[in-house]
Amino acid sequence: MLVTGGGSGMGLAMAKAFAQGGARVAVMGRSIERAEEGAAQIAALGARTHAMSCDVRSPEAVAQAFDEAEAVLGPVSLLANNAGANFPVLAENISPNAWAAVTRIAIDGTFLCSAEFARRRIARGEGGAIVNNSAQYIWTGFPGDAHSAAAKTAQATMTRKLAADWAPHGIRVNAVAAGFFPHADSVSGRRDDGIEPLQAMIPAGRTGSIWEFGWLSAMTCTPLFDDMTGQVIVQDGGESLRRSLMMPDFVPPRERVDGPWGWQ
């Protein structure tokens, strides 16, 4: 299998879950150093692995990376699209470059990697499975993070269409709409005062454990879920759901003293 952005964070959690299930794991990252760090952790689980550098916004680079992965590990039959970037910023302060970076890594990257994967599976006459890392805020908007609000929703909506396009070829496509899964490289994992304030705001009473996300992502690609395709599964401890009819007073994001996300 191949995971994009697999060197750290949620991508690494996906990669580890696939490795636990017995897969050979190609770890793709912008930075080869980070991909190699992730691959070392996967190798420690006893799985065959290979680290690669790739900019998922370039179709040529994506094709080359698939060539490299298949040369080392054999045909790629499962794909996890995780590559993405995200940071709190007011919409009026998002530069064209920042907008392009966040949206194109997630939107173009997911499309290009998925299409490359599908062309190879169709050419071989074999099916496969794709899982996309989407987010719980795709149904509500995400004030303070407009670029990611757009990008993550595009991943979820293309999931359904890619699934329809490739169902005749036996390629399944699903997504996990993930809530807060703090890790060393996430904004929420880097807070000075820890994750306790996040725990309190979530109906389940805690943030998610990163391996819970990895397990569900990998499960959607296994024969256990052989008939599932085109689905977006929310895994967020109830975080995206409304708490009450009455809401706290509205504070425009630019007036929040603790930053665009409201706590940062």
| Contact positions with another protein (CB under 8 A) in 62-91 | 78
Instruction: Quickly list H helices, the chain.
Output: 9-20, 32-43, 59-73, 96-103, 109-124, 146-166, 196-201, 210-220
Any contact of residue 14 with another protein (CB under 8 A)? no
One of 87, 99, 225, 263 touching another protein (CB under 8 A): 225
Residue where the block lists tokens 């052989």? 226
- Selection from 115, 105, 42 nearest residue 79 by Cα: 115
Q: Which value, in Å, is the radius of gyration of the alpha carbons in the chain?
A: 18
Question: Pick from 47, 143, 221, 253: which binds another protein (CB under 8 A)?
Answer: 221
Kindly tell me which of 40 and 224 has the beta carbon lying closer to another protein: 224
> Is 137 part of the annotated catalytic residue set?
yes
Terminal CA-CA length for the chain: 36
- For residue 205, state whether it binds another protein (rule: CB under 8 A): yes
Whether the Cβ atoms of residue 41 and residue 17 lie closer than 8 Å to each other: no
Which residue of 33, 67, 126, 226 would you call a contact of another protein, by CB under 8 A? 226
Span from 2-10, 102-110, 146-154, 228-236 in contact with another protein (CB under 8 A): 228-236
Task: Number of residues interacting with another protein: please give it, by CB under 8 A.
Answer: 41
Q: 66, 117, 137, 142: which is the annotated catalytic residue?
A: 137
The answer to the question of residue 262 lying near another protein (CB under 8 A) is: no
Among 30-38, 97-105, 143-151, 219-227, the segment contacting another protein (CB under 8 A): 219-227
Task: Out of 233, 256, 263, 264, name the contact with another protein by CB under 8 A.
Answer: 233
Encoded one letter per residue, x for contact with another protein by CB under 8 A and - for no contact, window 113-152 reads ----------------------------------------
CB 28 within 8 A of CB 228: no
**In the complex, minimum distance from the CB of residue 168 to another protein, in angstroms, rounded to a whole number:** 11
- Kindly write down the DSSP assignment for every residue of 93-154, as one continuous string: G--HHHHHHHHIIIIIHHHHHHHHHHHHHHHHT--EEEEEEEEGGGTT--TTBHHHHHHHHH
Among 92, 227, 255, 258, indicate the residue that binds another protein (CB under 8 A): 227
| Cβ neighbours for 157, distance < 8 A, ≥ 6 positions apart | none
3-state helix, strand, coil in the chain (%, to 5): 45, 15, 40
The residue ranges that bind another protein (CB under 8 A) are 18, 21-23, 78, 160, 163-164, 167, 179, 203-206, 208-209, 212, 215-216, 218-219, 221-231, 233-238, 241-243
